[in-house]
Amino acid sequence: MSGGLLVAGTTSDAGKSVLTAGICRWLHRRGVRVAPFKAQNMSNNSMVVLGADGRAGEIGRAQAMQAAACGLEPDTRFNPVLLKPGSDMSSQVVVRGVAVDTVTAGGFRAMRRRLAGEAFAALAELRREHDVVICEGAGSPAEINLRAGDFVNMGLARHTGWPAIVVGDIDRGGVFAALFGTVALLDAKDQALISAFVINKFRGDPGLLRPGLDMITAATGRPVHGVLPFRPDVWLDAEDSLAYGSVLGRPGAPIGGEWLRVAVIRLPRISNATDAEALAAEPGVRVRLTAEPAEVAAADLVVLPGSKATVSDLTWLRETGLADAVCAHAASGKPLLGICGGFQMMATTLHDEVESRRGTVPGLGLLPVEIAFRPDKTLARSRGVAGGVAEGVPVCGYEIHHGYVARGTPEPLLRYADGRPEGAVAGNVCGTHWHGAFESDEFRRRFLTDAARRAGRHGFRVAPDIRYAALREHALDALGDLVEEHLDTEALWRLIESGPTPGLPFLPPGGDIGGE
């Protein structure tokens, strides 16, 4: 059987995903057969992968990124349970890549034993096939109201007997209190598995932090295995929307004389926001996630991204005045792009008895199509070519949607390899169901060049040599470098190989808070 490690965090977006990826890349470089694992993820940022049987399934986007760090093709076992929130009260439950139900919090509690069994079975398979499995926790292990049925944080560590390290984000402030409190709220058996800390996103002189590191070690009996500096070039494939500020990525200076300003609508149930990352990777492209009509009015290109709740988010667009701003942008002749749910919103009519069950509702009327929804979800890895200004350029992507074009024969934005049309173009307005299409470099360049022309940004120029796949590899290598240069990798390896540190002190109050 393999060794392993749980990377837990003081909060969501503390750095669990990137630290897991960095440790995976470090081990992969050493020749270790390593795999990532997240027993349960809650995210609308997902990716379609092909299982061993050739069937398409979806997992969290972060686990696909971690697989790449390991030199592996993504596998549904890397994220056997995925929860995709469709509202504040319900989530779609995806097991081993396939949607099995939509449940409320109460219904989820009734499913937890079954879901834990699925997760542990997937982990057992990975342990047989790999030397090491690096597990990412979810949220914080100190969410004591959820501990009784937990199988992703300390429930997983208890099941395997593996050690856990806790990462805290110092950029948010209060990191030492968060580290101490995370341990102190756990019961004795859970505390015995928390073996070390890592501090993330530090800016400044590490020497100034040394007294705090010594004090937290003295207070908890647990060492800090390293301090990771803030790195602006590791923003790709973010786990969730918490990782995004108003400006996406770190925009490089324009090659031509002008910037291209892109506004991505930050929908309440935004899905696969990572689609915009490929646009933000281009020099001179400034991408903002926004919910402000004024920022839409000031943009050159507006993007309506994917949504897990298309009709509900369309209602929100209208209530906030964003729908009027989007339509005014389109009427001005400037480019407008819709992806998946955003594409569906631009239809004349939507017929939805599946997601919202609201029946027939009017769309924005910007594309000559009608959208209907099927109970079965389309999951596919798709290949084809572009139409329009990028005619014949190869494009790859993936699809995750219940909605489909029920009526309308518009000019397609893309075509499948077998010639079938996909998406729609009507002048300056276009849309597609394909996620990830703009990771196809030449298609992205042609699209942005045309968008700049329509927006009147005649001084904008695309870079001829940006390769998105290479940028992702660079980011993964940067994460591996951070681990090698700033963490005590010998201590990490001892934990992976030998298990939790024996004799760790108990921190009060702890106590029985629902653990096993």
Give, rounded to a whole angstrom, the gap between the first and last alpha carbons of the chain: 24
Residue whose C-alpha is closest to residue 193's, from 429, 463, 7: 7
**Helix 468-486, helix 16-29: angle, nearest 10:** 90
Catalytic residue among 340, 402, 430, 433: 340
Active-site residue 340, yes or no?
yes
Catalytic residue among 225, 433, 435, 486: 435
Around 153, how many Cα atoms within 13 Å sit in the side-chain half-sphere? 28
Alpha helices, H only, 366-467: 441-455
Give one DSSP letter per residue of 133-149, joined into a string: EEEE--S-TT-GGGGGG
Cis, peptide link before residue 509, omega less than 30° from 0: yes
What is the number of residues in the chain? 516
Active-site residue 135, yes or no?
no
Phi, psi of 455 (to 5 degrees): -85, -5
Residue 260 to residue 78: CA distance in whole angstroms: 37
Q: Are 134 and 38 in contact (CB under 8 A)?
A: no
Residue 400 to residue 47: CA distance in whole angstroms: 8
Q: What share of the chain is helix, strand, coil (3-state, %, to 5)?
A: 35, 30, 35
**Helix 16-29, helix 61-69: angle, nearest 10:** 20
Q: Which residues pair with 384 in a beta bridge?
A: 395, 416
Residue 393 to residue 384: CA distance in whole angstroms: 8
Return the number of other C-beta atoms located less than 10 Å from residue 61's C-beta: 27
**Helix 61-69, helix 468-486: angle, nearest 10:** 70
Residue whose C-alpha is closest to residue 305's, from 422, 434, 448: 434
Residue 72 to residue 26: CA distance in whole angstroms: 14
The residue with tokens 């324009």 is: 254
Residue 220 to residue 89: CA distance in whole angstroms: 37
Residues designated catalytic: 340, 435
